Structure 1
Amino acid sequence: MILTDENRKEVVSTLNGLIEILEDGKLGYTNAAEHVENTAIKTDFLEYARERALFIVEIQDEINRLGKSTDTAGGGPLGALHRAWIDIKASFTSSDTESIINACITGEEAAIEKYEMALKKEELEPNQIVLITKQLSSIKATLVKIKAKKMS
């Protein structure tokens, strides 16, 4: 498929929307790590934050490959979910590990929803679908790990 300027704008908007939720996740996990007492959970949260940072770079590289800059401006129709991580920061003030884990679950569910919406975009190129699918699989795996912490 040849990418028209309109399609390119749509793809860049979609990718920028993913960057927004990844930025939120990175900040969310960094905040969560600062507020939990459990060293193992703190280490895991910092690892998830590093993973989100890596995902951001991968998507920025794709935007740059399309000839666009990665300075985010709105994130398009996916931007509405962007607030999920931001809105749950209040949970972190109590240092209540269960509340923090619940907030992380909420953030990951929002990220999964946003990624699944992105994959429905017909303008995406095969390599972009592969990248988004790979990141989505990792986010889903992280969600399973976080839910397991809640059980223990």
Structure 2
Amino acid sequence: ELDENSTDLKQLFLSMIDESRRMKMDLGNEIQVDGGTIESGSTTMGKIYRGWMDVKAAFSGHSRKSVLENCEFGEDAAQKAYKSALSEEDIPKHIRLMLSEQKDALKVSHDEIKTLRDSCN
């Protein structure tokens, strides 16, 4: 696990988790307003559980730099997912705008993780 000197990372990650939850909720609300449905049930819970286990494994017994490298990898994947979603032509304008804003916000997080990673010995 991260040592006691990594409280800055723990706080950063908690903040990023909150931001991610808020983005997911905002997007889900817009999809429902437009008459769409949001996936639920054991499939979603299974994905959440697997994601949590992956995060837990990434932090266990690893150095600060390797934790940040794993996070940057995840942030890169998120950027690719948003880019892919934004390449779809049939997305309503307001959803496209929301996705674009979320992608930009996540890019800021990505850059913060990269800066922290680059500052490691």
* Post-superposition offset of 1:52: 0.2
2:64 matches 1:97? yes
Aligned equivalents of 1:85, 1:99: Cα separation in 2: 17
**Structure 1 partner of 2:32:** 64
Aligned equivalents of 2:53, 2:106: Cα separation in 1: 18
For 2:93, which of 121, 126, 129 is the aligned residue? 126
Q: CA RMSD in A?
A: 2.4
Q: Where in structure 2 are there 5+ consecutive unaligned residues?
A: 45-49
Q: Deviations over 1:82-122 (max 9, x none)?
A: x8987565332214211111110000000000000000101
Conserved 8 A contact 1:112-1:139: yes
Q: Identity of counterpart residues, as a percentage?
A: 26
Aligned equivalents of 2:19, 2:97: Cα separation in 1: 17
Aligned equivalents of 2:77, 2:51: Cα separation in 1: 6
Q: Deviations over 1:112-134 (max 9, x none)?
A: 00000000101101101110000
Aligned length: 111
Residues 1:84 and 1:64: Cα distance change in structure 2 (over 3 Å) = same
Q: Where in structure 1 are there 5+ consecutive unaligned residues?
A: 1-34, 76-82
Letter in 2 for 1:51: E
Aligned equivalents of 2:92, 2:25: Cα separation in 1: 18
* Post-superposition offset of 1:71: 2.3
**Structure 1 partner of 2:13:** 45
